[in-house]
């Protein structure tokens, strides 16, 4: 874990007012153009200092021959040079008092003994100048509420409430892009890379101070100090949800991980037990990490395990019910009062047995009937709701009525909109704007509610222990 001085410097580096980009380039297929392009296109309001003696300017911004010639304090230095040249630049950044550095290059402990020795040199320079280092072997990081999008790769997103912290840049981007597909934005993206100096615990502590962050979404290959991570995560999860996706569950994968970031994955059963004890919500894929993170960011937690499902096409609710029951949800029957109310909406002669899940059959396809039944269910004693709507271009989706229901019940409501991504996109945008948590498959809807239930049970467990 970083010293207090380095933690404060890391906080400033992750919220930079000035950034130097060493090794910047005008070559469109070069890593060197990515950070400058992303910063300019995201309308970053801080100072940008490209550094490369070959150019006088890059994208209309004055370019400097070296760090010293900038002559201003630097919150962050992004180093895009090879691993050997990066050491000299890190030393210079330390001498100039920079608050932090990003080293993008690989070629450290993940490759061979020489690389390991180089990483040890990096750590010594960092300690000497008390400069936190992000990476090496990383995409870098972005802070979207600061309009600071500085990674060298492309992805389209917008400011949100979820911080993605990933050992793998590729998997981190997969989670981030999945969230974007679900109309969910990011607060931060951090590529941990090798974590030679700055690790998960440091990022969690510093980013946790940002009021824009509601949920952390992690991808972990291996941890150098599992005890430190556990102690930190335990404190974070008492206040904010942490979703984790762990790779390296098999021996062959463990070997591949060692050559990726130089991290040992360890025994998966130990990790799983640690995640559970620390109160993390563990998932099995990058997509599920996005699904769970979205739900935890958008919805209140349940106050129990009683769920009500409603549909007018039975199959998807049955699929969802399977997964929900496995996770510990219960499907108690609806009250006689609710049955009478639903009958008054769909008619006494409708050939359907009213139970939970509630299958309205064809009559539920009419928006006035669907929303009418929602009004009946508003005062029922359930802890969560699972709503299925099947898209038809000729039929209005009762979005406003579902939004009202969500606001009235003040309980977690997950909507499943059965449609393809293309035709659903504009509706997903509107639903997200209205704070209605929606997915396109019953499996995803169930994953979302299951994440909420696990979070509720964890907090309830901890309250009982403290009492």
Tens of pLDDT along 11-36? 999 999 999 999 998 877 678 788 99
The pLDDT value given to residue 153: 87
For residue 280, give the 3-state DSSP assignment: coil
Domain ranges of the chain: 4-295, 300-464
Please state the rounded mean pLDDT for residues 434-438.
97
Average pLDDT, the chain: 92
The pLDDT value given to residue 166: 97
Q: Do domains 4-295 and 300-464 have the same CATH topology?
A: yes
CA 353 to CA 276: how far, in whole Å? 40
∠ CA 191-248-79, rounded to 5°: 20
Local confidence band at 256 (pLDDT 50, 70, 90 cut-offs): low
* 356-392: pLDDT as tens digits: 999 998 888 899 999 999 999 998 999 999 999 999 9
Return the top range by mean pLDDT from 20-29, 231-240, 335-344.
Answer: 231-240
Residue whose structure tokens are 């942490």: 242
Local confidence band at 346 (pLDDT 50, 70, 90 cut-offs): confident
CA distance readout (Å), 425 to 290, 291, 422, 439: 17, 16, 6, 11
Q: Sign of dihedral through CA atoms 437, 169, 110, 51?
A: negative
The pLDDT value given to residue 347: 81
Local confidence band at 109 (pLDDT 50, 70, 90 cut-offs): confident
The pLDDT value given to residue 106: 84
More confident residue, 351 or 196: 196
Local confidence band at 467 (pLDDT 50, 70, 90 cut-offs): low
CA 278 to CA 285: how far, in whole Å? 20
Q: What is the DSSP secondary structure assignment for residue 259, as one 8-state letter?
A: T
Q: Which of 32-46, 257-271, 452-466 bottoms out in mean pLDDT, i.e. has the lowest?
A: 257-271
Tokens (6 digits) for 390: 């099947």
- 4-295 has which CATH code? 3.40.50.261
Instruction: Classify domain 300-464 at the CATH class level.
Output: alpha beta
DSSP character string of 325-378: HHHT-B-PPPPHHHHHHHHHHH-TT------SSEE-GGGGGSHHHHHHHHHHHT
More confident residue, 24 or 348: 24
* 276-327: pLDDT as tens digits: 999 999 999 999 999 999 999 999 999 999 999 999 998 999 999 999 999 9
The pLDDT value given to residue 212: 97
Closest CA to 191 of 173, 206, 211: 173
Specify the pTM: 0.92
Taking the CB of residue 170, how many other CB atoms lie within 10 A of it? 13
């Amino acid at each position: 874990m970083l010293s207090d001085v380095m933690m404060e410097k890391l906080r400033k580096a992750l919220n930079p007012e000035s950034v130097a980009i060493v090794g910047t380039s005008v070559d469109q297929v070069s890593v060197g153009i990515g950070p400058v392009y992303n910063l300019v296109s995201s309308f970053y309001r801080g100072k940008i200092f490209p550094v490369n003696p070959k150019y006088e300017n890059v994208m209309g911004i004055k370019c400097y021959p070296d760090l010293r010639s900038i002559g201003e304090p630097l919150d962050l230095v992004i180093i895009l040079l090879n691993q050997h040249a990066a050491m000299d630049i890190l030393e210079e950044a330390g001498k100039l008092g920079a608050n932090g550095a990003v080293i993008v290059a690989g070629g450290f402990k993940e490759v061979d003994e020489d690389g390991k020795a180089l990483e040890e040199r990096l750590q010594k320079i960092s300690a000497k100048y008390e400069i936190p280092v992000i990476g090496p072997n990383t995409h870098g990081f972005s802070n979207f509420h600061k309009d600071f999008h500085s990674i060298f790769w492309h992805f389209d997103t917008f400011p949100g409430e979820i911080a993605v912290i990933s050992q793998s840049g590729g998997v981190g981007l997969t989670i981030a892009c999945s969230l974007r597909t679900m109309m969910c934005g990011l607060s931060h993206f951090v590529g941990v890379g090798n974590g030679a100096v700055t690790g998960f615990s440091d990022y969690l502590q510093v980013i946790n101070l940002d009021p824009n962050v509601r949920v952390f979404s992690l991808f972990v290959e291996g941890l150098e100090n599992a005890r430190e991570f556990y102690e930190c995560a335990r404190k974070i999860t008492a206040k904010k949800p942490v979703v984790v996706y762990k790779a390296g569950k098999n021996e062959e994968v463990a070997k591949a991980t060692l050559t990726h970031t130089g991290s040992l994955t360890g025994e998966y059963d130990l990790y799983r037990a640690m995640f559970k004890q620390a109160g993390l919500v563990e998932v099995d894929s990058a997509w599920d990490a996005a699904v769970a993170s979205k739900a935890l960011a958008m919805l209140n937690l349940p106050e129990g395990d009683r769920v009500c499902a409603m549909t007018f096409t039975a199959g998807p609710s049955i699929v969802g019910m399977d997964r929900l029951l496995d996770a510990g949800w219960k499907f108690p029957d609806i009250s006689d009062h609710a049955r009478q109310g639903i009958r008054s909406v769909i008619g006494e002669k409708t050939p359907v047995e009213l139970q939970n899940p509630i299958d309205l059959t064809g009559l539920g396809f009419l928006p006035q009937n669907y929303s009418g039944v929602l009004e009946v269910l508003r005062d029922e004693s359930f802890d969560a709701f699972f709503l299925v709507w099947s898209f038809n271009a000729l039929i209005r989706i009762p979005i406003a009525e579902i939004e009202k229901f969500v606001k009235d019940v003040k309980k977690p409501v997950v909507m499943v909109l059965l449609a393809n991504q293309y035709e659903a996109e504009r509706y997903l945008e509107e639903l997200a704007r209205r704070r209605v948590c929606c997915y396109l498959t019953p499996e995803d809807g169930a994953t979302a509610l299951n994440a909420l239930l696990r979070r509720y049970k964890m907090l309830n467990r901890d309250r009982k222990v403290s009492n």
